[in-house]
Chains A and B, each alone.
Chain A
Amino acid sequence: MNRAHALLALLVACLAALPLVANSYVLSVATLILFFAFAGQAWNVMMGFAGQLSLGHSLYVGVGAYAAAGLYFHYGLGAWAGIWLAIALCVLLGAAIGFLAFRFGISGVYFALLTIAFAEFTRIGFDHIDWLGGPGGLFIKVEHRVGWDLVNLRGAPAMFYYVMLALTAAAFALCAGLLRSRAGYYWQAIRENEEAAQALGINTFRWKMLAVVISAAMTAVAGVFFAFYYNNLFPEQIFHISRSIEIILGPIIGGLGTLFGPILGAAVLTVLADGITELLAALGWEFPGVKQVFYGIVLLAVIMFLPHGIWPALARKLGVGR
């Protein structure tokens, strides 16, 4: 375990020092990796820990993003105020979906379909909310590109990088704590065999709801970051199913249900996908959609050769736990 802690400390130190040496391109890729690592961890709580497949996590990213961006746009309320509204709305939405599904015994692929349906009709709904810009999008003012206005989450790329790093580290600590707690054991039991879990006295409805609600709340935070980092939101983009898929690829490739898998998966995917795009651009070939094709190939390779993801195999090599 000590070895794992040492490696983790080394990694955090390297990540903390990165803005000192990296150029703006590397920093933007690193921020993107952390964003997907964070969102992947959020999704992993629901699917990796509790075994509930959501294919509609773009719902929480979008609602979280729009909630905070709307408050800032109309009332000048900063991201840290908006984050509470974002979390509250996403928790309510998650609870509604969870209640509908778990109360009426919808599980597996049917549950996944329900999550897609919610994301899709929310996307269409947001096209009709003029207050939030409708299909034309919501733009929040870009200012202080050099300073550090943490209170309003406006500032230099390095600030966003550190905010995302802190969020990812906090999510990691939260997940580690959850996995060792009663909730972690119960979730894994439900994931492995729900009927047996229930026979051992576990109120499966309640614990599945908890997983959904925590996952939704974490993803809402990712959405708030997204809004203030990119400064523009379109329902067509943010609620799109491809965003949900992007979120879940990291944990699947890195290692479902593991603590480090979502982080590793996000890093591998983003670095390789961006690398390939850059390489092709340098060679003068530009194919739209090359990233998606690449995602597909990586996913196939991992499922064929490392069905439990990259991290469990790597962890054995490094001699550390999961």
Chain B
Amino acid sequence: MSTLLEVRGISKSFRGLRAVTDASFEVPQGTIRALIGPNGAGKTTCFNVIAGVFAPDAGAITFDGRPIHGLRPDQVCRAGIGRTFQIVKPFAGLSVIENVIVGALKRAPSVPAAKKHAAEIVEKLGLGAKRDLPASSLTLPDRKRLEVARALATRPKLLLLDEVMAGLRPTECDQMVEIFREINRADGLTILLIEHVMRAVMALAQHVIVLNHGEVIARGTPAEVVRDAAVLECYLGEEAEV
């Protein structure tokens, strides 16, 4: 299994506040990995550094054999990384299908080709019935689906999912899990997800990386990390004497 994404010792501070400190992990080709941790652990900052929103203060990121740290977000996308935003950012004035066409145009040779590709993805994500509605009229679960559809339309090699399950009902969550499993199995798409919904993490990820205060404190299979003392401590606090 070759490594698709390698994050080596990245650090990022905001005015002296250290969001991520010397974090290292890798995502092998074809796998699904999860990045978990309590609120404020630096997960989204990690994503933003990978996606090119911020350049890291230190460290290196290698994707598909070439360094990508310091690239702009559009260049990172072109290199083959698609992402969703934790706080969804739909193109509110455009229709659902137009939102996805914008993503599809990245790889499509022409507008008609992009329309065709976008239509397939909208169907796959279960947004087919709403394709011509303005994105502003969608409910939150549908907006999350739209985020995923748009990112998928850029034909990424690696998909970064930032809390796409948050706010979904358990059945909707299971549907999403099924969609990602299918995409991972059929297209071999590699996925790195930030997730609080453990139901989804357990069902999807073969390997979990745990961040706390910007540092990686544990890694392993989902079953291993939920028993890890350091992980339990950061989520639940130190064991108190009763």
- Seen from chain A, the residues whose Cβ lies within 8 Å of a Cβ on chain B are 180-182, 185-186, 188-189, 191-193, 195-204, 257
Contact = CB atoms under 8 A, between A and B. Distances in A.
Nearest to A194: B89
B180 interface: no
Nearest to A193: B89
B94 A199 contact: no
5 contacts: A188-B102, A189-B102, A193-B89, A195-B85, A203-B74
Interface stretch (B5-13, B103-111, B201-209, B227-235): B103-111
B102 A198 contact: no
B105 A196 contact: no
B64 to A, nearest CB: 15
B51 interface: yes
A182 B89 CA distance: 20
B74 A186 contact: no
Contacts of B42: none
B36 interface: no
Contact of A198 (B73, B90, B93): B73
Contacts of A198: 72-74, 77
Interface in B32-54: 51, 53
B85 A199 contact: yes
A204 B94 CA distance: 18
B145 interface: no
B150 A192 contact: no
Nearest to B88: A196
Given A197-B102, A199-B85, A200-B106, A188 B91 contact: yes
Nearest to B150: A200
B154 A196 contact: no
B101 interface: yes
Given A196-B85, A200-B150, A188 B73 contact: no
A185 B106 contact: no
